[in-house]
């Protein structure tokens, strides 16, 4: 049996593309503002089979967010559908069915009712609809995750603005412009978590 999952751990299953990057930053900021700890497949290093490592990461997290809002074909030639996110959602659902007390998964979409067409087997599951906006992601995070002393959406938006303004210096320091790069991800998480304590100083 794998060890018990981190009760604050959230596996983020999101598309790694430029157009999604503002929502990706919103997920990181929002989760950190709620005292949760985001994890991303790009954190994974080492020579093992990638899928095995992703499954280990899912198992190590108490929660997962599967954003299926960009299910359309990617624009690069030759256009291919994005199967990674549904694949990882399928793995997660199996894990949760076998271990119902150890994992909770959430499906996110930008449009209401589209999930019923793109993945009709999920009918009966109500997705979080973020409308493709930063505000929507933060609003839905607050609706999905409850805890004492939650920040308001405007407070979260303020922190989002600050973290977003630091992105260019983080890119320069890490020699990349890739939001999903492991180093950039780590720094975004650290920055977001550091700003959390501003609103809720540790006792």
Contacting residues toward another protein, per CB under 8 A: 7-8, 34-37, 63, 104-106, 124-128, 143-147, 158, 162, 166, 169, 173, 183, 186-187, 189-191, 193-198, 200, 202
Using the minimum distance from each CB to another protein, give the nearer residue, 44 or 128.
128
Tell me which H or E stretch contains 98: helix 84-98
Query: Smallest gap, in angstroms, from Cβ of residue 126 to another protein?
Result: 4
Nearest residue to 160 via CA among 41, 42, 34: 34
Query: Smallest gap, in angstroms, from Cβ of residue 52 to another protein?
Result: 21
> What is the SS3 assignment for 4?
coil
d(CA 196, CA 32): 7
Hey, how many other C-beta atoms are within 10 angstroms of the C-beta on 74? 13
- Cα 77 to its chain centre, rounded Å, is 27
Using the minimum distance from each CB to another protein, give the nearer residue, 20 or 160.
160
Query: Smallest gap, in angstroms, from Cβ of residue 163 to another protein?
Result: 8
Query: Smallest gap, in angstroms, from Cβ of residue 15 to another protein?
Result: 22
């Amino acid at each position: 049996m794998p060890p018990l999952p981190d009760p604050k751990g959230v596996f983020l299953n999101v598309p790694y593309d430029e157009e999604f990057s503002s929502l990706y930053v919103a997920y990181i900021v929002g989760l950190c503002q709620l005292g949760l700890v985001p994890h991303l497949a790009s954190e994974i290093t080492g020579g093992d089979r990638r899928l095995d490592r992703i499954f280990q990461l899912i198992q190590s997290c108490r929660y997962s967010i599967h954003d299926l809002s960009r299910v359309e074909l990617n624009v690069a030639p030759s256009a291919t559908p994005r199967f990674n996110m549904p694949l990882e959602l399928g793995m997660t659902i199996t894990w949760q069915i076998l271990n119902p007390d150890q994992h909770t998964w959430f499906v996110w979409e930008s449009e209401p009712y589209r999930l019923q067409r793109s993945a009709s087997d999920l009918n009966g599951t109500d997705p979080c609809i973020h409308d493709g906006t930063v505000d929507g992601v933060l609003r839905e995070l607050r609706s999905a995750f409850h805890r004492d002393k939650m920040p308001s959406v405007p407070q979260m938006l303020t922190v989002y603005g600050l973290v977003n303004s630091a992105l260019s210096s983080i890119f320069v320091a890490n020699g990349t412009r890739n939001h999903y790069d492991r180093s950039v991800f780590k720094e975004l998480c650290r920055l977001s978590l550091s700003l959390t304590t501003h609103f809720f100083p540790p006792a």
